[in-house]
């Protein structure tokens, strides 16, 4: 089955209706299945489960049972079933010691099963930025979903929201910086929009981060030695090298401003938001520099 065929034969809305797993009707329809006959999905798009949250869910299931049945599909040539939606609930039920688990059995092909699993994960509230970007990319590249379809039918977000995450999915290194709070989401988006100077700007960003890390390491050593020789004063002294620590970020902020001047073709409203993000970044850098040099604004 090629791209788009699934959408033409079985529109997303119909697929969503077939895979509803909440409400009284779902509980009434659920079948009790031996939990040993349930198998996890080897193509599960979700990368990890929070151990503490899983243990908490297991305690809740032990006390109240499974209130939202997972969706499974039959495995051909076997009396076993594969999880499509609800692996976390299944894992928690196992931890709780359940022998049987209520499930909704759906006859889904590989594409329908994967799309259903992707959509379920996308619509979780605590989805990480990296997972979200990866799911959007898979829907777009593997199943030919348009940005509009992802935004309106799947994520229920704006087109720009989806576009930003698709850009990040193309550049894992930048995505990692955003996830580790070393680069703001809006700043990353601004950086990736400037296609003409992208490689140059990425190199400058990497150099800025490398320089700031080296200066921070040197200044930290200096601070530690000073603490052994002096008594803390009521007003902190400027940290030697503080300006040098902030300088790479200030330089990069200047680069971002030069990028902003090249965005003549961007829509006015979006340009306004991008420029506002640059100003926010500059204010944050000024605050950091003030703390490092002992001059608060």
Distance CA 44, CA 139 (A): 14
For residues 10-21, give the mean pLDDT.
52
**One domain, residues 35 and 114:** yes
The partner residues of 100 in beta bridges, in order of sequence, read: 34
| pLDDT of the residue at 205 | 75
Task: Mark whether 87 is an active-site residue.
Answer: yes
Statement to judge: residues 198 and 164 lie in one domain: no
249 phi, psi to nearest 5 deg: -70, -40
Instruction: Provide the residue range defining the domain that includes 109.
Output: 5-172
Domain annotation covers residue 180: no
Q: Over the chain, what is the mean pLDDT?
A: 75
Do 204 and 143 fall into the same domain?
no
Tell me, yes or no, whether 284 lies in a domain: yes
Tell me, yes or no, whether 177 lies in a domain: no
The pLDDT, as a whole number, for residue 45 is 64
Is the same domain home to 155 and 201? no
pLDDT at 188 over 90: no
At 20-32, the pLDDT tens digits run: 555 677 778 889 9
> What is the DSSP pairing of strand 81-85 with strand 71-74?
antiparallel
The per-residue pLDDT for 272 is 63
Are 158 and 48 in the same domain? yes
Rounded CA-CA distance 22/32 in Å is 16
| Amino acid 58: pLDDT | 95
Task: Provide the 3-class DSSP secondary structure of residue 100.
Answer: strand
Give residue-wise pLDDT tens across range 273-292.
Answer: 666 666 666 666 666 656 55
| Span 103-123, pLDDT tens digits | 999 999 988 888 888 888 888
- Asked whether residue 14 falls in the same domain as residue 149, the answer is yes
pLDDT of 203 reads 78
For the cut 50, the answer to whether the pLDDT of residue 2 exceeds it is no
Percent of the chain with pLDDT over 90: 30
Residue range 122-165, pLDDT digits in tens: 887 678 899 899 999 999 998 889 999 999 888 889 999 999 99
**Whether residues 197 and 125 fall in one domain:** no
Token pair of 183 as six digits: 């680069």
pTM of the model: 0.58
- Return the pLDDT at 193: 82
Same domain, 150 and 204: no
pLDDT at residue 53 greater than cutoff 50: yes
* Residue 263 DSSP code: -
Domain presence at residue 178: no
Q: Which entry of 29, 39, 87, 132 is annotated as an active-site residue?
A: 87
Q: What does the alpha-carbon distance between residue 276 and residue 269 come to, in Å, rounded to a whole number?
A: 11
Residues contacting residue 3 through CB under 8 Å, at least 6 positions apart: 142, 143, 144
Q: Assess whether 195 and 268 both reside in one domain.
A: yes
Residue 35 forms part of a structural domain:
yes
- Residue 216 is predicted with a pLDDT of 36
Q: Does the structure show a pLDDT above 60 at 228? A: no
Query: 11: helix, coil or strand?
Result: coil
Give me the pLDDT at residue 173, please.
87
| Number of domains within the chain | 2
So what's the pLDDT on residue 273? 65
Cα 248–chain centre separation: 27
Q: How many CA atoms lie within 13 A of 47 on its CB side?
A: 9
């Amino acid at each position: 089955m090629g791209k788009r065929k699934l959408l033409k034969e079985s529109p997303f809305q119909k697929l969503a209706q077939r895979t509803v797993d909440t409400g009284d009707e779902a509980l009434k329809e659920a079948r009790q299945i031996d939990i040993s006959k349930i198998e996890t999905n080897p193509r599960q798009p979700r990368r990890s489960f929070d151990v503490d949250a899983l243990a908490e869910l297991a305690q809740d299931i032990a006390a109240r049972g499974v209130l939202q049945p997972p969706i499974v599909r039959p495995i051909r040539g076997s009396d076993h079933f594969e999880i499509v939606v609800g692996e976390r609930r299944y894992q928690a039920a196992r931890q709780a010691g359940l022998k049987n688990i209520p499930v909704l059995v759906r006859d889904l092909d590989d594409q329908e099963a994967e799309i259903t699993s992707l959509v379920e994960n996308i619509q979780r509230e605590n989805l990480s930025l990296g997972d979200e970007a990866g799911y959007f990319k898979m829907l777009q590249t593997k199943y030919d979903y348009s940005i509009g379809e992802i935004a309106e039918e799947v994520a229920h977000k704006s087109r720009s929201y989806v576009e930003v995450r698709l850009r990040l999915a193309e550049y894992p290194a930048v995505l990692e910086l955003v996830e580790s709070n070393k680069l703001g989401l809006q700043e990353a988006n601004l950086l990736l929009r400037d296609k003409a100077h992208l490689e140059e700007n990425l190199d400058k960003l990497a150099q800025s981060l490398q320089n700031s890390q080296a200066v921070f390491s040197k200044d930290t050593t200096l601070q530690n030695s000073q603490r052994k020789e002096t008594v803390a004063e009521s007003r902190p002294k400027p940290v030697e090298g503080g300006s040098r620590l902030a300088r790479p970020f200030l330089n990069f902020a200047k680069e971002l401003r030069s990028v902003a001047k090249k965005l003549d073709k961007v829509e006015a409203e979006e340009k306004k938001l991008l420029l506002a993000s640059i100003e926010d970044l500059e204010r944050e850098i000024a605050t950091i520099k003030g703390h490092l040099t002992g001059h608060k604004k």
